[in-house]
Amino acid sequence: MMAVVRIAGVTLLALLGWQAVVTLAELPRFILPGPGLVFTTLWTSRALITEHALVTATEVLLGLGLGAALGFASAILLAASPAARSLLRPILVFSQAVPVFALAPILTLWLGYGLLSKVAMALLIIYFPVTSSFFDALMRTPPGWLELARVMNATPARILWRIRVPAAMPGFASGLRLAAVYAPIGAIIGEWVGASRGLGYLMLLANGRAKIDLMFAALLVLAVLTLLLHASIDAACRRLWKS
């Protein structure tokens, strides 16, 4: 209950500060609309915004699911195989030297302007955090647990799946929490590069037509979707792995 009160209080203060900036600086609505105008537009354009929000939410959820699965499998492979570590880790590190945003036009060229390129963009942007967090956790299994398993003649596969993976799940949960924040960024960047639907597309369209109130309304919905996704992932991780 106290958390809800704190969130409501912070939100109210932010809205009051926003309105104060608009009023005191006498900013025109095409530069910074007030919160009242944004919420009015959010209500009057709710059908349009909902339609585009569903597209973005689909892209984010698909990218998050695929990226988490691929990151999980990659971390397992890296932890289980020294040869994979020597070959793949340099590639993973090098991949982060290339700004992921710069790949968006290439993905659009290869995969088209539809859903697939946005899902791929979200997948790429969350793959490394999930893989890195889970792999680090797998490599930090308490040595005493591993020694006890070896004394009991446990095979490497059993040690991996019965000891190392369960012990590393809080690390995987940390990666998922990061992914919940990063995945919408990938989807929106993909929509900015080329799309005909989605909140990113709606924001560009509204900006080009000087409908700044609609652009802020779409941005507000995107922020709420991201917060809800992060809160859902966090609650699920706490419930499943007490992390």
Q: Model confidence over 141-162: pLDDT tens digits?
A: 998 888 988 888 888 889 999 9
Q: How many domains does the chain have?
A: 1
Residue type at position 104: A
Q: Range of 183's domain?
A: 35-241
pTM for this predicted structure: 0.91
Q: Which residue reads 């799940």 in tokens?
A: 169
Residue 187 pLDDT more than 70? yes
Number of H helices, E strands in the chain: 11, 0
Angle between helices 199-208 and 212-241 in degrees, nearest 10: 160
| 86, 93, 135 from 81: Cα distances, Å | 9, 18, 12
Residue type at position 45: S
Query: Does residue 87 lie within any of the structural domains?
Result: yes
CB environment 94-106: b (16+ within 10 A), e (fewer): eeeeeebeebbee
**Cα–Cα distance for residue pair 95/174, rounded to 1 Å:** 21
Query: Does residue 49 lie within any of the structural domains?
Result: yes
Query: Does residue 140 lie within any of the structural domains?
Result: yes
Q: Which two tokens stand for residue 12?
A: 């109210």
Query: Does residue 180 lie within any of the structural domains?
Result: yes
* pLDDT score, position 205: 94
Query: Does residue 103 lie within any of the structural domains?
Result: yes
Q: Which two tokens stand for residue 121?
A: 């963009």
3-class secondary structure, 116: helix
**Cα–Cα distance for residue pair 15/34, rounded to 1 Å:** 9
Q: Are 104 and 120 in contact (CB under 8 A)?
A: no
Average pLDDT, the chain: 90
Query: Does residue 118 lie within any of the structural domains?
Result: yes
CB environment 192-208: b (16+ within 10 A), e (fewer): ebbbebbbbbbbbebee
Composition of the chain by helix, strand, coil, percent to 5? 85, 0, 15
Percent of the chain with pLDDT over 70: 98
What are the residues whose beta carbons fall under 8 Å from the beta carbon of 76, sequence distance 6 or more? 138, 160, 165
Between residues 156 and 134, the one the model is more confident about: 134
Query: Does residue 44 lie within any of the structural domains?
Result: yes
Residue type at position 209: R
Residue 225 pLDDT more than 80? yes
Q: Give the domain CATH number at 191.
A: 1.10.3720.10
* pLDDT score, position 222: 96
Query: Does residue 91 lie within any of the structural domains?
Result: yes
Q: Where are the beta strands (DSSP E) in the chain?
A: none
* pLDDT score, position 242: 67
